[in-house]
Amino acid sequence: MAKKKKSHGGLKFLAFIVVVAGLIVSISKGVGTETGQRIIGHREDRRLERTELTPRFAYSAAKMRIMISSMYNAGGSIVDLTSTSEVTVDRASSTVSREIDVERTAAEVAPGVDAIPYDALNAEYSEIMTKLYLYESPSEPGQPWTRSPVDPYYYGTELDDHFLPMVDDLMGFELQSLPTKDAPTSVASGFKRVNTPTLPKDVTSAYTYEFDMATYRRVAPILSNRTLLEAPPETLVTLTIAFDDFGLLRFVDVGLANTSATTVAQARGDGGSGVYHYTLDVTEISGEPIEIDLPTNIVDKAPTEIQPATVI
């Protein structure tokens, strides 16, 4: 009598289950990657290039400090300037006030820049913006403020409901996949800070990256458009971003070597500038409105004097 051959069907079925489980795990992991999202057609829905963002955390008012360092072309001489804006935003009245100070940057930031006096470039002034008008303080005491229409130029300024985005608006799949640094630093980029940035007390998560300008523009387009840095694609950039418990953006610090900004300023000629450092520090978020008084002693600018408003 022939011996019956032992069946291995159970082992084959078990092997099949293992293979299927492995495929499920691999697919699950792959879906979360940049390539996976593109394959299943979801990546375009999550791209950061979109201009319509929906804030999930509603705040009534905020205070922030914006510092921009740039190389300025003054008649062919390159001057290192820093503008500091103390900003108050009242969303209830759609009003923002700015106290702006422009001065020579400390010498440590720009070694090799000629220490020539440019006191005329130092300035202090105030602005108040609504969705319809921009009010500018007078250059001489006792003079009226000037008023000019700004609609629709307030989009993209602090009055924009999307000016402070959420973490998932900024942290796309590709940015999440990049390695982060342990602490804010930018030695490799050649950028030197006079003071190490201090994160706001409400920050609960922070990320620091170093990559080239082309990568910065690709993975963080919302920030790259706002921070105004311009440099060749291969220029090294250092970026630190931080968020609070709600996921609201509370801090941005981005910088590159000021030599790149010097090249940009020289190419633009007299009056041109190149930004090499931008810091946004949201110092206060409030659930209550902050009253901002509009000036009453005003004079309207003539149409020929009106220029589009920009974020300073």
pLDDT tens-digit profile of 155-164? 678 888 778 8
For range 295-305, the mean pLDDT: 81
Distance of CA 109 to the CA centre of its chain: 21
48 in any annotated domain: no
Q: Which domain covers residue 219, as residue numbers? A: 61-305
In angstroms, the CA 18 to CA 257 distance is 53
Question: What's the N-to-C CA distance of the chain in angstroms?
Answer: 96
* Average pLDDT of span 59-80: 88
Min mean pLDDT across 126-130, 268-272, 276-280 is at 268-272
Grouping H, G, I as helix, E, B as strand and the rest as coil, residue 44 is helix
In a domain, 25, yes or no: no
* 54, burial (CB in 10 Å: exposed 0-12, middle 13-18, buried 19+): exposed
| Assigned domain for 93 exists | yes
In this structure, of 25-39, 154-168, 259-273, the range with the lowest mean pLDDT score is 25-39
Q: How confident is the model at residue 197 (pLDDT cuts 50, 70, 90)?
A: low
Confidence of residue 58 (pLDDT cuts 50, 70, 90): confident
In a domain, 51, yes or no: no
76-90 average pLDDT score: 89
Q: Is the pLDDT assigned to residue 181 strictly greater than 90?
A: no
Q: Which two tokens stand for residue 49?
A: 């290039």
CA distance linking residue 57 with residue 85, whole number of Å? 24
Higher pLDDT, 139 or 312: 139
Spatial neighbors of 33 by CB under 8 A, at least 6 apart, are: 173, 177
| Structural domain contains residue 110 | yes
**Is pLDDT at 1 greater than 70 in this prediction?**
no
For residue 130, what pLDDT is reported? 93
Specify the pLDDT at position 133: 92
Q: Does some domain include residue 238?
A: yes
Total domain count, the chain: 1
- Please check whether residue 170 lies inside any domain of the structure: yes
Percentage, residues of the chain above pLDDT 90: 29
Residue 40 has pLDDT above 80, yes or no: no
Give residue 251's pLDDT.
Answer: 94
8 Å CB contact between 133 and 22 = no
Alpha-carbon gap, residue 64 to 91, rounded angstroms = 14
Q: What CATH number is associated with residue 88?
A: 2.50.20
Cα separation, 144 vs 162, whole angstroms: 32
- Which residue is listed with tokens 């630190």? 240
312 contacts 101 by C-beta, under 8 angstroms: no
Largest interatomic CA distance in the chain:
119
Looking at per-residue pLDDT, the higher value among 22 and 233 belongs to: 233
Strand 123-130 relative to strand 133-136: parallel, antiparallel, unpaired? antiparallel
Q: Note whether residue 112 is domain-resident.
A: yes
Distance CA 86, CA 91 (A): 16
